Amino acid sequence: MNVSDSEMIKEILIENNDEVTENIDEADVLLFNTCSVRQHAEDRVLGRISNEASRKSKKRNLKIGVIGCMAQRLGDDLHKINKNIDFVIGVDQYKNLPKIIHKKRVKDFTETTVNNSEVYENIYPIHSGKFNAFVTIMRGCDNFCTYCIVPYTRGRERSRNSEEIIKEVELAASKGFKDVTLLGQNVNSYKYEDVDFAELLKQVNEIDSIKRLRFVTSHPKDLSDSVIKVMGESEKICEHLHLPMQSGNTDILKRMNRGYSYEHYRGIITKLRNKMPDIAITTDIIVGFPGETEEQFNDTYNAMKEIEFDYAFTFKYSPREGTIAAKYTDQIPEEIRLERLQKLIKLQEEITLKKYRSKIGTIQELYVEKVSKKSDKELAGRTRDFKITVFEGSQNLIGKFVKVKIVDAVGWTLKGKLIE
């Protein structure tokens, strides 16, 4: 979401005749787009701001701005945390950025007014990925999972006009993008007038030169049968779904306010696999949520064994000030959270390798993205189910679709042999 927001912000600035530079030495303004989802993300960006602030001694007019969820969450306090920060701009105020960065003096400036109807219409971002375009279809979140800061920083859920979304995808297609990812905190609850998410998927699927279509993030409580049906029927929708489970224990899920049981989650996986036998499923898991007992953790461990995700993003619970779970008195000690995390990572590594190995001997379509990092004779691309695959081939294949036969799986990379 932040990558996508940064692309949009670049477009806002460029329209105002500002220039974006990849060379930090040239910059007159540094913008830090920040994430608040875990404390670790906030600590890292504060460290980064401190490092870059030393540039002010060489360039007196250099301005430093903080944007994104941390700006929204901390507002004025950020000026106290680091005196080198000139301005703090919240997530609904990006249209004011050009005006603010051109102020003669912007010291200790903060603008974090909430605007729950801002969807940044009529801004068509310059997608920075070469082959995949991220298209935001909705902003905010109303789910209030008890651990999560997002509804507080990003505000109320609102969907963009579907015609605007289609226009943005068509524009990306006309610039040569063939792979599109629709973005939102909970894409399954997309609704604009009479267009719901299933209908939006159908409409994007119709756009001629788009060859691959993905979407994140899906919420298990809202992933409807009609979306599963469209996924099965639309040739462009890739056989890959990211479906955060968070926990394999229903009591913990209830305490997280997730709105589904483990059995419901398991049922969705069965439906998906029945419709799309080759579908890759990835997930997010939180360990050490307040009150999580050893048995409840084991339920998550066993659920991961049972379901066999292709990949899992596993996180230690991080208390976020202002959320309900941060107030629970039964917080889990750091050592136990870490121990549980390590157990899950180890288990998932084994499962991921098994999943990748099961692809050996199959024929896969790749969208070739680049020369491989390890060898310039090899190219790297992604399968429809999102697995990075390397194969020997000439560089003129970059940007093309090819067929390869999978011959090996090393770590999280498949090796293929070009056949077409």
- Residues 236 and 244: their CA atoms lie apart, in Å, by 22
- Residues 44 and 48: their CA atoms lie apart, in Å, by 6
Between helix 334-357 and helix 294-307 the angle, nearest 10°, is 10
Are the CB atoms for 288 and 394 separated by under 8 Å?
no
- Residues 205 and 83: their CA atoms lie apart, in Å, by 49
Matching residue, tokens 């940044």: 120
Give the rounded distance of the alpha carbon of 231 from its chain centre. Answer: 20
Per-residue binding letters, 168-197, with ligand SAH (x by CB under 6 A): -----------------xx-----------
Closer residue to ligand SAH (CB): 30 or 149: 149
| Closest distance of CB 51 from ligand SF4, Å | 29
**Size of site (CB under 6 A) for ligand SAH:** 17
151 binds, among ligand SAH, ligand SF4, none (CB under 5 to 8 A by kind): ligand SF4
Matching residue, tokens 């701009």: 89
For residue 65, what is the enclosing H or E element?
strand 63-68
- Residues 36 and 354: their CA atoms lie apart, in Å, by 34
Closer residue to ligand SF4 (CB): 144 or 313: 144
Among residues 4, 159, 246, 300, the one that binds ligand SAH under rule CB under 6 A: 246
Closest CA to 384 of 229, 307, 280: 280
Q: Tell me the window of 77-85, 87-95, 147-155, 385-393 that interacts with ligand SAH (CB under 6 A).
A: 147-155
Write the CB contacts of 156 (distance below 8 Å, at least 6 apart in sequence). Answer: 116, 140, 142
284 binds, among ligand SF4, ligand SAH, none (CB under 5 to 8 A by kind): ligand SAH
Closest CA to 252 of 296, 217, 211, 283: 296
Q: Tell me the window of 13-21, 68-76, 143-151, 267-275 that interacts with ligand SAH (CB under 6 A).
A: 143-151
Closer residue to ligand SF4 (CB): 148 or 344: 148
Q: Which amino acid is at 270?
A: T
Q: Does 320 bind ligand SAH (CB under 6 A)?
A: yes
Matching residue, tokens 């979401």: 1
Q: Does 284 bind ligand SAH (CB under 6 A)?
A: yes
Please report, to the nearest 10 degrees, the dihedral formed by the alpha carbons of residues 70, 71, 73, 76 taken in order.
130
232 binds, among ligand SF4, ligand SAH, none (CB under 5 to 8 A by kind): none
- Residues 39 and 337: their CA atoms lie apart, in Å, by 15
| Closest distance of CB 313 from ligand SF4, Å | 12
Closest CA to 73 of 1, 147, 154: 154
Residue ranges that bind ligand SF4, judged by CB under 6 A: 141, 143-145, 148, 150-151, 185-186, 219
Among residues 147, 197, 215, 356, the one that binds ligand SAH under rule CB under 6 A: 147
Closer residue to ligand SF4 (CB): 145 or 307: 145
| Closest distance of CB 288 from ligand SAH, Å | 9
Closer residue to ligand SAH (CB): 147 or 297: 147
Closer residue to ligand SAH (CB): 6 or 413: 6
38 binds, among ligand SAH, ligand SF4, none (CB under 5 to 8 A by kind): ligand SAH
Q: Which residues bind ligand SAH (CB under 6 A)?
A: 37-38, 147-148, 150, 185-186, 217, 219, 244, 246, 284, 286, 315, 317-318, 320
